[in-house]
Chain A
Amino acid sequence: MWGGSTSSDSTRVRSIPIRSGQCKAFLSQFKQQSLPACKPVLTPAWVIAIHLLLGFVFIPIGLVTLHASRGVLEIVDRYDADCVPEEFKGNKVSYIKDTSVPKNCTRILKVHKYMKAPIYIYYQLDNYYQNHRRYVKSRSDQQLLHGLKYNDTSSCKPEESNNGLPIVPCGLIAWSLFNDTYTFIHGTAELRVNRKNIAWKSDRDHKFGKHVYPFNFQNGTLIGGGKLDPNIPLGDQEDLIVWMRTSALPSFRKIYGRIEEDLEADDVIVVHLMNNYNTYSFGGKKKLVISTSSWLGGRNDFLGVAYIFVGSSAVILSLVFLLLHVKNPR
């Protein structure tokens, strides 16, 4: 409509009055509120068609989703209670706080079905409010990126400094770093678990400094969780990076690593774990999860069921409307 650069002058001249005429027409239509418009009206035919369409789209999506979700294989093992020695069953908190008690524990997992690599290893925490207001606020993104060069760590309270020296990384989140560890024995050999590239690349590259090293970390009177190797920069501390992506809901998983070989059905995997992390004081649960993945993400039947439900309700509604229309036409 605006004419290309190749168009001759004559056409351009001619096109101007047309354009201004159109513009005028538009303005007057606009002022008189008579712009051309589409006025959809819900006729019974439309209503029934829409509902049928919804049904026919939603039910297949639901089935596909459900199938995908079912295709995800998961081995979930709750170990927090079982890993407490008999004598401490009555007082789990004293067990976890007692540094002299060995925390190692062995779990045996059975693979029910063939699991194709990559197989993800997660730890799952329940009843752990990583979205608690006090908790999520207690961090300093500037410090994570710039380290000691960034001084204002007041947002990290109450874990911003110790003995007058700043803590890197500061804040409750870093302080409460999850520190259970797992080793997997498959048959006789140790399963190779890849613990690289488990955090988001964007976080590693842009959010956590490549030249920021842990400092004065976990030196306080109250140890919250894992310690960090002061010689590895934050950008490479993937466990920390994963941990610091605070979860949205109080029941969450965080990735621990990847098994990069297939597991056959009926394989037995022995897990040696260090049960260091204190969830006993607030009744949290710890689980170890070994899961494959699909295009959908993890295993969750909810979406599939929801789709099938919505789709079938739409179909039923369309039938109801059809009946109404036949019995009681306007």
Chain B
Amino acid sequence: MDSKNPIESSPSIEITLNSSSRRSNSSSHSKASRGNSVREVTFGDLGSKPVRYGSRGADSEGFSGSQKEISDEDARLVYVNDPEKTNERFEFSGNSIRTGKYSILSFVPRNLFEQFHRVAYIYFLIIAVLNQLPQLAVFGRGVSILPLSFVLLVTAVKDAYEDWRRHRSDRIENNRLTWVLVNDQFQQKKWKDIRVGEIIKIHTNETLPCDMVLLSTSDSTGVAYVQTINLDGESNLKTRYAKQETLSKTPEKEKIRVLIKCEKPNRNIYGFHANMDMDGKRLSLGSSNIVLRGCELKNTAWAIGVAVYCGRETKVMLNSSGAPSKRSRLETRMNFEIIILSFFLISLCTIVSICAAVWLRRHRHDLNTIPFYRKKNFNDEDKDDYNYYGWGLEIFFTFLMSVIVFQIMIPISLYISMELVRVGQAYFMIRDTLMYDEASNSAFQCRALNINEDLGQIKFVFSDKTGTLTENKMEFQCASIWGVDYSGGKDSSVNEQVGHFVQVDGKILRPKMKVRIDPELLQLSRSGNNTEEAKRVHDFFLALAACNTIVPIAFDDASNPTVKLMDYQGESPDEQALAYAAAAYGFMLIERTSGHIVIDIQGERQRFNVLGLHEFDSDRKRMSVILGCPDKTVKVFVKGADTTMFSVIDRSLNMDIIRATEAHLHNYSSLGLRTLVIGMRELSDSEFEQWHSSFEAASTSLIGRAAMLRKVANTVEKSLRILGASAIEDKLQQGVPEAIESLRTAGIKVWVLTGDKQETAISIGYSSKLLTSKMTQIIINSNSKESSRKSLEDALRMSKKLITVSGTTHNNGGNSGGAVSPVALIIDGTSLVYILDSELEEQLFKLASKCSVVLCCRVAPLQKAGIVMLVKNRTSDMTLSIGDGANDVSMIQKADVGVGISGKEGRQAVMASDFAMGQFRFLVPLLLVHGHWNYQRMGCMILYNFYRNAVFVLVLFWYVLFTCFTLTTAINEWSSMLYSIIYTSLPTIVVGILDKDLSRRTLLKYPQLYGAEHRQESYNSKLFWLTMIDTLWQSVVIYFIPHLAYWGSTIDAPSIGDLWTLAVVILVNLHLAMDVIRWSWITHVAIWGSIVATFICVIVLDAVPTLVGYWAIFDIAKEGSFWLCLLAIVVAALLPRFVVKVLYQHFSPSDIQITREAEKFGSRREFGAVEIEMNPILEPSRR
């Protein structure tokens, strides 16, 4: 690894390096994902992916890394079964994990520290502290600190609860038990006590406590099967191997003197490099020799290994980067506007202090005698100045006091209101029946509470494929055998069929999965070997049952004790589907060992010797198995992709059958089915001998083994006779094509990031309507930086050409898909290796932004995150990631919004997500309906809250100008506190939760309306400034109408204060009422109720004799001018806003406005007419 040091620091590069120079390391995760077009395969290609049958024993010797030294500085030395010595020099991390954020001691300071990341909180803290100074005490002491401490307390309680739950799960995890070798005996030990170097024994179905190198397993060949569902989300079994040399050792009996020298902990789950010094011999270890924490041991009775990475140094922990807390985009924008507001605040305070300074200066000689100032305290003996600290300080104090008085210019209540509104919105999202998955009985989950409104602004959706777009359920659909298409099974439902079964030990054995069956084909398959046709069918199903790497596992059916279910475990779901299909037609794979397989053919058990197996590789795109049949013939069965299969099929034979098959294949793939072509031939004895010797030679060779094996495979995979083709459906989830269509119409770009191979990805692309035949596909498969650069440049040129030809800019490509010939970019993980984190990123982004669809295949988990970051770093557009497996976790966390599908593949994705739901199609109501509502509501609410507080502050400010700039408030202290708590808070929260600008039906019908959020129609700086101007006008009206009406009258301060209080409250509530679109009775209650509540509060406050304003409201309300003032204020203040609103709606109505009217007057006006109107408007309002 020395040569790679400069870039080693970046984890994502690390994967990329491994998968490029020694791509074989990553191949352990899925065979299906190896199907790309890499032209250069290094000689170590098959190295760490051992061929299990026939080539075992030679496995990792060919690995190029064996020659490589791991330098001592970079290495970690593990003395097997000697944890003391291992941990002597460096204390390696123990195995206990901690995901909790706080401890009991650190909770208060740390939580406060985190909460005070909100600048607003610091601001309010400073204000509260200032108010405690006697010179500045404007409000009562407790009163001033109350709101802030309330907010802090609520949040702290919430955080504490969450952390307690994390601690609890940590504790459970740390206290799990496992068997550890202590004093030559395996003893139970808690997970947290495991140390590096200890030998651990794992039994079947147990979870691995740490990353360990396998030493031996129950299997004589040293195979262990693990399920990595918690790691990469794949539910199938992976094979791992113990070294031949360590297999025979039994650590209980003999001391093992082994030193493992391995690389430092890193987060690459597909790579591992180590050397093992054993009895003077040096062996190399690769990723196939290590099992990782979080995996489950399956199908293997026990496995013994030595712990090499523990606790937080394990790969799974290193990969679970802590979820960064997300802040919604709207809130970020809002923070910017809050800064503007604070500038307002400062200027108000400055004005007041300058005026105060001037006044004090001008009256500096009279201050002692002015009755309302009386600087000197004459009653004191020494005649000190009373509460006067000199001109400069007085000005300074005036400034600070004005900050205290005007503090609610920065709306602290907004933060609480926002939280409450989000809770309400989340409630409605959770309760939405449209997003309730009946199949899995799972409701929508809102896991993050502070990014609801971001759902309304998503521009990019990054979707996983398997389990997200598809159900991850491969189903054998139909087959073409010997030129005949058997797809009749479509009509009969699965449930009707009994399915094939066999009797084993008095028990019925039947496949776990049921398959649709074509009755005609079933008939044929049962008819034996009599006709030519039946013979081909026989061979076809034999090929399906044999030509794979499936491991059959029989287990008892829980519901029926007489039945055993046959589970086919394998790395490729396609192979599983084919094996199930074969079983359904009576070719049931019963047993597989290293040398032979047993297949039950129509009730007759037959044993086939597996003479050799050529694994699937990305170059040949096919696999073959050489079987010694019971009738002593030797047959080669080959299955593979049509592109490479037809080149090895003997075209001279059965030309018409080949043609028919090709036609069927075309049919199948146009239906979006995954196709495989199957061929076979018999080997003559001489041919077999020749192949056998060269195969043996190749598989034991140390250098260039992969190339040699490939050559051998090519000699035997030739002049095949075609048998037919199979078609498998990777079932799309319900409603996926429609959902993608809706999203695209809404102007959202959907990118699919999948670990699958390119062909699969493309076929799913077609079936999900992501790709259409109209699209031009740009495919980038490169295996070096230079070629990536070149293909990117070519692609850019091409896309430019395409776009200029169609004569439209790419910007609205998403909106009006019809006009543009859309471009689809298909890129594979290998190319991304060279592109991501290099200067090519920029080009890729340019290219991708021109494409309406981007498909990334064969991408590693961190690459997914890298792609998300690629977009996130370069645009201000919002990104959403949706996925279901643990391999999507990083991308879910990186995106602005992460959505987890609560599917079959574990809970990791859901745990990391912000929102979780049952089906992909729920994305449509989530974004288009709830996202739209949330965003629009939140935008309105923030603006309204700014306005609401600013108007109040401005009224105070105007009054201050007429009180010698001394910050007297006519509005009494209690009212100003209750203003944002009781008088005006409820309506904005209710409206923020309940108001809907458009109905759900309309929003789903016209996805284009989502564009309104992209253009930030509900919240932008223009609206902000308009609101502020409006605020200024309204405050002037509120203040000056009573001021002028009562100038020179007997009015006293509390009375006019009551008038102002009521006027402000009525006004801001009516202002809100003007913006309300749907008036349900709850809205009515909230708005009118608030006004009534204000009256009641004012009356109650004025009924307290000790307050200055005793009885003021009753006195002032007796006079007609009070009511006249109120009416005049309300009308005069709202009139300009009303007029502007009407004019705006008249001259440049927004889409939403038009649709709303159409919704209301739908009976009179045709919806269609509106739609025509809508498109042209999209453009001008874009500015």
Chain A contact residues, CB within 8 Å of chain B: 31-44, 47, 50, 54, 58, 61, 65, 68, 93, 122, 124, 126, 128-136, 139, 141-142, 145, 157-163, 172, 175-176, 200, 202-203, 206-207, 220-222, 224-225, 245-255, 278, 281-282, 295-298, 300, 302-303, 306-307, 310, 313-314, 317, 321, 324, 328, 330
Contact = CB atoms under 8 A, between A and B. Distances in A.
B1110 A129 contact: no
Contact of B1105 (A34, A163, A175, A206): A206
B378 A35 contact: no
Given A129-B964, A302-B1044, A321-B1142, A220 B379 contact: yes
A317 B379 contact: no
B391 to A, nearest CB: 15
Given A200-B1115, A250-B962, A175 B1082 contact: no
Nearest to B401: A133
Q: Which 10 A-B pairs have the closest CB atoms?
A: A133-B966, A176-B371, A202-B1111, A135-B372, A158-B377, A158-B386, A31-B431, A37-B1080, A37-B1078, A248-B1056
A314 B1132 CA distance: 10
Given A31-B431, A41-B1160, A330-B1146, A296 B1119 contact: yes
Given A296-B1121, A314-B1131, A314-B1135, 19 more contacts: A35-B1081, A42-B1141, A42-B1145, A43-B1157, A128-B372, A131-B962, A132-B963, A135-B371, A142-B1106, A145-B1105, A158-B374, A172-B374, A176-B371, A200-B1111, A249-B962, A250-B962, A282-B371, A310-B1131, A330-B1149
B1049 A303 contact: no
Counting contact residues on chain B (CB < 8 A from A), the size range is: 35 or more
Interface stretch (B362-370, B629-637, B673-681): B362-370
Interface string B424-439: 0001100111000000
B1108 to A, nearest CB: 7
Interface string B950-989: 0000000000001110111010000000000000000000
B421 to A, nearest CB: 14
Given A40-B1079, A141-B1106, A225 B1046 contact: no
A131 B1135 contact: no
A161 B378 CA distance: 10
Contact of B1050 (A172, A203, A253): A253
Contacts of B1057: 248
A24 to B, nearest CB: 14
Interface of B: 363, 366, 369-374, 376-380, 386-387, 427-428, 431-433, 933, 962-964, 966-968, 970, 994, 996, 1000, 1041, 1043-1053, 1055-1057, 1077-1083, 1105-1108, 1110-1111, 1114-1115, 1119-1121, 1124-1125, 1127-1128, 1131-1132, 1135, 1138-1139, 1141-1142, 1145-1146, 1149, 1156-1157, 1159-1161
Given A54-B1131, A133-B967, A38 B1079 contact: yes
Given A38-B1078, A135-B372, A307 B967 contact: no
A38 B1044 CA distance: 39
B1132 A306 contact: yes
Contacts of A221: 378-379
Given A203-B1111, A249-B1046, A303-B1125, A33 B994 contact: yes
A303 B1078 contact: no
Nearest to B398: A133
Given A175-B371, A248-B1057, A141 B1128 contact: no
A157 B387 contact: yes
A162 B379 contact: yes
Most chain A beta-carbon neighbours within 10 Å: one of B433, B967, B1111? B1111
Nearest to B1125: A303
Contacts of A251: 1047-1048
23 contacts: A31-B431, A35-B1080, A38-B1080, A39-B1078, A39-B1159, A41-B1156, A41-B1160, A54-B1135, A68-B1120, A122-B1050, A124-B1048, A135-B372, A158-B374, A158-B377, A176-B371, A221-B378, A246-B1108, A282-B363, A297-B1120, A300-B1046, A302-B1047, A306-B1132, A321-B1142
A306 B1128 contact: yes
Contacts of A41: 1156-1157, 1160-1161
Nearest to A302: B1044
A65 B1121 CA distance: 9
A247 B1053 CA distance: 5
Nearest to A134: B373
Contacts of B1145: 42
Given A202-B1111, A220-B379, A282-B370, A252 B1079 contact: no
Contacts of B1141: 42
Contacts of B376: 158
Most chain B beta-carbon neighbours within 10 Å: one of A157, A303, A317? A303
B372 A134 contact: yes
A282 B1161 CA distance: 67
A303 B1119 CA distance: 13
A122 to B, nearest CB: 7
B1146 A324 contact: yes
A51 B1124 CA distance: 18
Contact of B377 (A34, A157, A207, A324): A157
A176 to B, nearest CB: 4
A252 B1149 CA distance: 49
A78 to B, nearest CB: 12
Nearest to A277: B371
B1053 A131 contact: yes
Given A35-B1080, A135-B372, A141-B1107, A158 B1056 contact: no
A34 B1001 CA distance: 11
A134 B373 CA distance: 6
Contacts of B968: 131-133, 136
Contacts of B1055: 248
Most chain A beta-carbon neighbours within 10 Å: one of B371, B378, B966, B1050? B371
A249 B386 CA distance: 25
Contacts of B962: 131, 249-250
Contacts of B1124: 61, 65, 296, 303, 307
Nearest to B365: A281
Contact of A303 (B363, B1045, B1146, B1161): B1045
A134 B1161 CA distance: 61
A247 B1052 contact: yes
A296 B1157 contact: no
Nearest to A33: B428
A324 B1115 CA distance: 46
B742 to A, nearest CB: 20
